[in-house]
Amino acid sequence: MASERQVRAGLRRAGQEHLLRFWAELAPGARAALLAELAQLEPEGLREHCRQAAAACALPAGRPSDLAARLRPLPPERMGSVSRSDPETRRRWEEEGFRQIALNKVAVLLLAGGQGTRLGVAYPKGMYRVGLPSGKTLYQLQAERIRRVERLAGERRGTRCTVPWYIMTSEFTLGPTAEFFKEHDFFHLDPANVVMFEQRMLPAVTFDGKAILERKDKVAMAPDGNGGLYCALADHQILEDMERRGVEFVHVYCVDNILVRLADPAFIGFCVLRGADCGAKVVEKAYPEEPVGVVCQVDGVPQVVEYSEISPETARLRAPDGGLLYNAGNICNHFFTRGFLQMVTRECEPLLKPHVAVKKVPYVDEEGNLVKPLKPNGIKMEKFVFDVFQFAKNFVAFEVLREEEFSPLKNADPADRDSPCTARRALLAQHYRWALQAGARFLDAHGTRLPELPSPPLQGDPPAVCEISPLVSYSGEGLEVYLQGQEFQSPLVLDEDQARVLQPPES
């Protein structure tokens, strides 16, 4: 291990020697921990990181009007849509996706390095329970969707198949996530097919370019954003692992979407049949000012443009059909070929420009007191996973229905959007629709039938509570055999055991 003298000399070269200012006060264990952390920060890289952060933060924000002339919606030939396609086309996409899954060519990759600060919990978001009748966490729902899609693909093709699950964690989430999976027996997945790896951490920096001490013996570090994926793939030889397994196509998604369809056969099939090397799922923006990034083209190159970068006038522009011109909302749900990821990690990653996030970063002051700032005092530099769209040779977007596939969990209750309440409501409303479509009917406490076909689509709580295990149905399929013509009182929890009870005997 590097000595104090070596580390101090490196910090001096980086202009960050203040990180050792409490050295004389530290106990031997704390000294060793701090030295180990600082030894990983290569002096030239640290100096450049701090310089870049301060310089980027000092730049005036670009005026939205500068962008308007360069902006174009994606051309129709690059778009696919679940709702605007005929049933035969959707069947072809799905069939191709299942074929690739059955051939063991599809993996899923979860971005799970964030801390869940806005949600107000001290553990990884995937361990969160939104209050479903079953008590399932986000991780369990996702694991069960993998098991179901493996089963569906295997049954269609008469084979056994595996969808490996790669989970990118951070210093904050790796330990708790690994422990949680062990405690729950990997949700009955083979542990050899669940591969966890860690993204890099970067120091938080003051506005004048100094790395921040969060304790006398610890630098304030933050994950390098979900775009840290590409360095992490190289750091941990993940693409080599995929190659050994025969994986050709990777579905990348974010941990907090309760409705996410892992290894979605329709999305995979659409991208493969289009010959895409890179793809993004999108949802139609709910209203012009909705705070989501827009998948579009800038100077003819596919890109996600943040909502804050688009002027209100541009956001309100309408297409000839009356819909928003820039309506493809980004939901952090992507398709990549392994070949594309190899090219990005080898050639393009250094070209990605970090984004500035100005945050409230706890720190120790000159006297060694812990300070929790009331206003932003530091810079975290992040890269975004979608920043690689520009390098694609054949980029496509795939529009899905928000009520079926997108309800993120970001804020604590009682926030009116993206909260545990709205996520729970979205899942239960979806399952209620599935049950009605399968021929189930629900009764209130007095035995009176509840509404059958809610119109317009449900906005509040569904009339009855119905939760369907992903092990029983992945996307609403196959429920008729359990539910058709039957009446239920709320709540109905259709898990595998209940499904067996409802399964009619074979004649």
CB atoms within 10 A of CB 454: 16
Buried-state track 311-321, b at ≥16 Cβ within 10 A, e below 16: eeebbebeeee
| CA atoms within 13 A of residue 408's CA, in its CB half-sphere | 15
Q: What is the CATH class of 426-502? A: mainly beta
**Band of residue 475 on the pLDDT scale cut at 50, 70, 90:** very high
Q: What is the pLDDT of residues 155-207, one digit of tens each?
A: 999 999 999 999 999 988 999 999 999 999 999 999 999 999 999 999 999 99
Contact 53, 381 (CB under 8 A): yes
Residue 60 has pLDDT above 70, yes or no: no
How distant, in Å, are the alpha carbons of 102, 133, 302 from that of 15?
Answer: 55, 55, 39
Averaged pLDDT, 136-162 = 97
pLDDT of residue 445: 85
Averaged pLDDT, 130-141 = 97
Domain 64-405 of CATH type 3.40.190.10: no
Q: How far apart are CA 150 and CA 163, in angstroms?
A: 7
CA nearest to 432, candidates 406, 453, 412, 410:
453
Averaged pLDDT, 456-480 = 88
pLDDT of residue 271: 98
Residue boundaries of the structural domains of the chain:
64-405, 426-502
Q: How far apart are CA 111 and CA 167, in angstroms?
A: 6
Q: What is the pLDDT of residues 417-449, one digit of tens each?
A: 999 999 999 999 999 999 999 999 999 888 889
Q: What is the pLDDT of residues 279-319, one digit of tens each?
A: 999 999 999 999 999 999 999 999 999 888 899 999 999 99
Averaged pLDDT, 263-271 = 98
Question: Of all residues in the chain, what percent carry a pLDDT higher than 70?
Answer: 96
Residue 503 has pLDDT above 90, yes or no: no
Averaged pLDDT, 387-403 = 97
Q: Which residue has the higher pLDDT, 120 or 258?
A: 258
Question: DSSP letter string over 264-289?
Answer: -HHHHHHHHHTT-SEEEEEEE-SSTT
Task: Name 252's bridge partners.
Answer: 109, 334
Helices (H) and strands (E) in the chain, counts: 16, 24
**Band of residue 507 on the pLDDT scale cut at 50, 70, 90:** very low
How many degrees, rounded to 5, is the angle at CA 420 between CA 416 and CA 421?
55
Neighbouring residues of 416: CB distance < 8 A, sequence distance ≥ 6 = 422
| Strand 201-203 to 249-254 pairing | unpaired
Q: To which residue do tokens 């998604």 refer?
A: 253
Handedness of CA 98, 144, 422, 292 (dihedral sign): negative
pLDDT of residue 461: 86
Six-digit token string for 502: 């409802």
Predicted TM-score (pTM) of this structure: 0.93
Q: What is the pLDDT of residues 20-41, one digit of tens each?
A: 999 999 999 999 999 999 998 9
Residue 63 has pLDDT above 50, yes or no: no
